[in-house]
Amino acid sequence: MTRRIAKEFLVIDKEDAVLRSFIERLRASKKLVVQLDKEEFLIELQPLQVSDEARKLLSRGGPIQDRDD
């Protein structure tokens, strides 16, 4: 299965106590079923793994075609 990195990042500050608590519970169990109204969602937490090559590319910024190195 191919995994895609999300297009959106959310930074959780220390002030976000409720969200931090939820993420800590998710981190401890790896998977949670969350009920929102009448819907249920399986939420799975996986650490982000970025290769050294991808990290180098991401840290440079800018479109790939603009790079001549």
Predicted local distance difference test score (pLDDT) of residue 39: 98
What is the three-state SS of 53-64? HHHHHHHHCCCH
Cβ atoms of 43 and 34 within 8 Å: the answer is yes
51, part of any domain: yes
Instruction: Look up the domain containing 45 and give its range.
Output: 32-69
pLDDT along the chain (69 residues), means of 10: 67 91 93 96 86 75 58
Number of domains forming the structure of the chain:
1
6, part of any domain: no
22, part of any domain: no
Predicted local distance difference test score (pLDDT) of residue 60: 73
- Does the predicted model carry a pTM greater than 0.85? no
38, part of any domain: yes
